[in-house]
Copies of this chain bind each other. A is one copy, B any other.
Amino acid sequence: MKKSLASGIEQYIKVLIARSESGQIEIQRVELAETFACVPSQVSYVLSTRFSQEDGYIVETRRGGQGYIRITEVRKETGNLDDKLLRFLNEVQAKKLLKPRETEMLKSIMLNVGAGLPAEYKSRVYQGFAAALRKYLNKGG
C-alpha cells in the first residue's frame, strides 16, 4: 500500500521536530512543497489534519517576505513546561474548580502564548499564570 503524499510530509515534519532540541521547528511552506513536488496548499492540508492542537502541536505562521510556519510540539516528558502547565490545569479541573470548556480554553490560550516566547520567559509567564489562577479561584471566582 502506497503511502500518501500527506503522510510523507507528516513524517518528514515529525522527524524534523524529533531532531530539534527545542521541539520547535520553522519551515517555509513553498520550500517544503518543493521538496515533495506538490502544491503549497498540500502543506497547509497536512498541518490542519495532523498538527492540530488536539494532536499536541501549536502552529504559528507569518506571511510576507521571509514568512514562516513554526510548529511547536507540546511534549509529554515530565519536567517540560508545557506538560507541567497541562497537568496543573487538569488537576484544577478535577477539583471541579473549572468547567471543561474553561479548562480547554485556558490550555489553548496559554500554550499558544508560550509557543511565542523564548524559554526563559515562558517559565516565568506560566508560573505567573498558575499563581494568578489560584488566586482567582480562591476568591471564589
Contact = CB atoms under 8 A, between A and B. Distances in A.
Interface of A: 1-5, 7, 26, 53, 64-66, 68, 101-102, 104-105, 108-113, 116-117, 121, 124-125, 128-129, 131-133, 135-136, 139, 141
Given A1-B68, A104-B141, A141-B104, A112 B125 contact: no
A101 B136 CA distance: 12
Interface of A is mostly: helix
A112 B5 CA distance: 26
A101 B97 CA distance: 13
A100 to B, nearest CB: 11
Q: Tell me the number of copies of this protein.
A: 2
Nearest to A125: B125
B112 A132 contact: yes
A132 B111 CA distance: 8
Nearest to A113: B128
A65 B4 contact: yes
Contacts of A5: 65-66
A131 B117 contact: no
B141 A108 contact: yes
B141 A128 contact: no
A107 to B, nearest CB: 9
